Amino acid sequence: MTFYEISSDNRKKGEWAYGIIIGDYPKVMIDCSVCGRNWRKEKLLDKNSDITVALVNDNFADFADVIYHKLIKSEALELLQNNEIKGISAGHINIMLHDELSLDALQTLKKKGCKINLISDSVPQYYRLFANVGISLHERSEIELLDFCDACGYKKFITPNLSYLDPSAPIYFARETWNGDDLFMTEELGASLFCSEKFVQVYKENNLTGLKFSKIEFL
């Protein structure tokens, strides 16, 4: 069995449409009486959170990028489900067209560097793509848990000898911990998505677009 990390296919800059969030990111402030932390918990990856995006460019891949997320076209979702790809979960996303955005919203996006003239006026049906934790990292992976609180759910992972988590640090999967899902996450790596060889095979055989895959070693 071979496993892969999923990333966006950006070989041709600007080729595919991508999402930009409209308004504030969903979040909740937590004041924990046990650990004493007052911290912000991001809710972007919560299936029950409500986010609104606009899509920039009008070349719509089967998978599109929006911060911390992958979006999936309805046709691609159905295809993966029909091929019995395990672990896929889809959620609703609000997509606003250029003509639906207020002048203030357009100006805000422009100040953030968005090319507002490229915001799409017609888009296909997309869903938010979700997965569950489906494998554990091997102890040889260069990631360690610095601090945590069971009461409020706070966790901070870092790369050894650094104060942050370096996304380029090597990781390895513990083979015996895989739960059998074809699309999955790890506890330590937040929004990163990983997949099985079967996922990649179905993706390539059906000429799907928008993703690329990097092999992950397992021990």
Identify whether the C-beta of residue 77 lies closer than 8 Å to the C-beta of residue 126.
Answer: no
For residue 64, the model assigns a pLDDT of 95
* Calpha distance 139→137 (Å, rounded): 6
Q: State the DSSP H helix or E strand holding residue 203, giving kind and residue range, or none if neither.
A: helix 197-205
pLDDT digits (tens, 9 = 90+) for 134-146: 999 999 999 999 9
Confidence of residue 208 (pLDDT cuts 50, 70, 90): very high
Taking residues 54-83, report their average pLDDT: 94
Q: What is the mean pLDDT of residues 82-105?
A: 95
User: Which pLDDT belongs to residue 9?
Assistant: 87
- DSSP notation for 11-51: SSTT-S-EEEE-SPPPEEEEE-TTT--EEEEE-TT-TT---
Tell me the average pLDDT across 81-85. 98
**Look-up: residue for tokens 């095979």?**
201
d(CA 96, CA 79): 25
When the pLDDT of each residue in the chain is averaged and rounded to a whole number, the result is 92
Q: Which of 44-48, 52-56, 69-73, 76-80 has the lowest mean pLDDT?
A: 44-48
**pLDDT reading at 68 higher than 60:** yes
Q: C-alpha distances in angstroms, 200 versus 122, 156, 196?
A: 29, 31, 7
Percentage of the chain with pLDDT > 90?
79
Written as one string, the DSSP assignment of 117-165 is GGB-SS---EEEEE--B---B-TTSS-EEEEE-TTT--EEEE-TTSSS-
- The pLDDT assigned to 24 comes to 85
CB atoms within 10 A of CB 75: 13
pLDDT category, 12, cuts 50, 70, 90?
low
Q: What is the pLDDT of residue 14?
A: 60
Phi/psi of residue 72, nearest 5 degrees: -130, 135
Q: What is the pLDDT of residue 215?
A: 95
CA distances, 23 to each of 53, 101, 102, 160, 219 (Å): 9, 11, 11, 36, 43
Residues 62, 64, 69, 71, Cα dihedral to 10°: -40
Q: Are 16 and 210 in contact (CB under 8 A)?
A: yes
pLDDT, tens digit, 9 for 90 and up, residues 143-160: 999 999 999 999 999 999
